[in-house]
Amino acid sequence: MLDDKQPQLTPLEEIGEFGLIEHLTKSFEIQNESTQKAVGDDAAVLNFGERETVVSTDMLVEGVHFNLAYVPLKHLGYKSVVVNLSDIYAMNATPTQILVSIAVSSRFPIEALEELYAGIQIACKNYKVDLIGGDTTSSTSGLVISVTAIGSAKKEDITYRDGAHENDLLVVSGDLGAAYLGLQVLERENEVFKVNPNVQPDLAEYEYLVGRQLKPEAGRNVFELLKELEVKPTSMIDVSDGLSSEILHLSKESGYGFKVYEEKIPLDPMVIKTAEEFGINPITCALNGGEDYELLFTISQEDYDKIKGNPSLTVIGHTTEQNAENYLMLRGSDSAVPLSAQGWKSI
């Protein structure tokens, strides 16, 4: 991912631990009035006045969440921010600040970390969030990135996971399953490359899928669209672990059962085509694949007219009754299968 022709790489030892964060973050600009003090003291200082502060954190581990054989560091930096901002949008809040900590072994030269931070910076600019702190430390093995995102919202706007009511509609933004298939494509190309390093991968056909995997976007457009449509979801979550698992969260927290209709789940044509190529059911990619970072939410039936026909939003089901089971209603039949989540992925 780094150009092999780069003549000189700088070992981390040369810059010193204290200089590193400053070196990596000196070109970051403050974009939020609420940021009183960013990187450079024991702690950052924020001021949200009368608004609520929301905070979320996520950790990405080399060999678990990413493989540097096919994930460019700049994309990784971008994605590590976006997955955290996605959690803030899922609260119906505006992200405003992030903190980024990395543990890194000395096999990474400074230029590699600069690539990572270049991606972090692009995400900060695109989403108008300020980098306000972090920690940089050695690691005995791979790269670990921990991001904490902070956001702000009016108290009455915050949307929790537990707010669904009886017969609310279940809505998802965008389409599902593409990020998972993008990963399958990248892993397949990587296997080919390992056998024959002279084969140049041709990923053009899979651009949409690979882009969804390597450079996902957080739900800002949907967040803004809902504000514009004057729809406040009754509950909301982001789709990071797969549709099935997220529905189970909304069900558990609200106490209501959900019915989801297979034929309603939005799939891009490339998802259907590539799933077939891999011999997988595309619905399985949507249900269990994860990393789509779409927003999944419930709305009152009264709000249906506001979202009806919007190309970014699809009604895929509804809540049923308290303590009811969660079902996937199969296409073109009255059959239903219970929804289940993927478990802990051990390694």
- Residue of 9, 69, 125, 141 that binds a second copy (CB under 8 A): 141
> Which positions from 158 through 197 interact with a second copy, judged by CB under 8 A?
158, 160-162
- As a whole number of angstroms, the distance between CA 336 and CA 90 comes to 28
Structure tokens at 240: 């990071």
- As a whole number of angstroms, the distance between CA 173 and CA 314 comes to 6
Cα–chain-centroid distance for residue 305?
29
* Cβ neighbour number for residue 157 with a 10 Å cutoff: 16
CB 106 within 8 A of CB 138: yes
> Which positions from 42 through 101 interact with a second copy, judged by CB under 8 A?
42-50, 52-65, 86-88, 90-91, 93, 97, 99, 101
CB 236 within 8 A of CB 294: no
Would you say 131 or 210 has its CB closer to a second copy?
A: 131
Is 138 a binder of a second copy (CB under 8 A)?
yes
Is 309 a binder of a second copy (CB under 8 A)?
no
- Residue of 1, 33, 40, 227 that binds a second copy (CB under 8 A): 40
- Residue of 94, 148, 314, 319 that binds a second copy (CB under 8 A): 148
Q: Which whole-number Å values give the CA distances from 276 to 205, 281, 283, in the listed order?
A: 15, 7, 11
Amino acid at 311: P
Query: By rule CB under 8 A, what count of residues binds a second copy?
Result: 81
Is 39 a binder of a second copy (CB under 8 A)?
no
Is 255 a binder of a second copy (CB under 8 A)?
no
Would you say 51 or 262 has its CB closer to a second copy?
A: 51
- CB of 204 vs a second copy, minimal distance in Å: 32
Is 257 a binder of a second copy (CB under 8 A)?
no
Is 146 a binder of a second copy (CB under 8 A)?
yes
Is 245 a binder of a second copy (CB under 8 A)?
yes
Maximal CA-CA distance, the chain: 67
Would you say 244 or 274 has its CB closer to a second copy?
A: 244
Would you say 222 or 271 has its CB closer to a second copy?
A: 222
- As a whole number of angstroms, the distance between CA 278 and CA 162 comes to 37
> Which positions from 7 through 36 interact with a second copy, judged by CB under 8 A?
11-13, 15-18, 20, 36
- Which span sits near a second copy by CB under 8 A: 120-128, 234-242, 255-263, 312-320? 234-242
Is 106 a binder of a second copy (CB under 8 A)?
yes
* Cβ neighbour number for residue 55 with a 10 Å cutoff: 15
Is 340 a binder of a second copy (CB under 8 A)?
no
DSSP 271-299: HHHHHHHHT--HHHHHHH------EEEEE
Structure tokens at 303: 């709000």
Question: Which SS3 state, helix, strand or coil, does residue 31 take?
Answer: coil
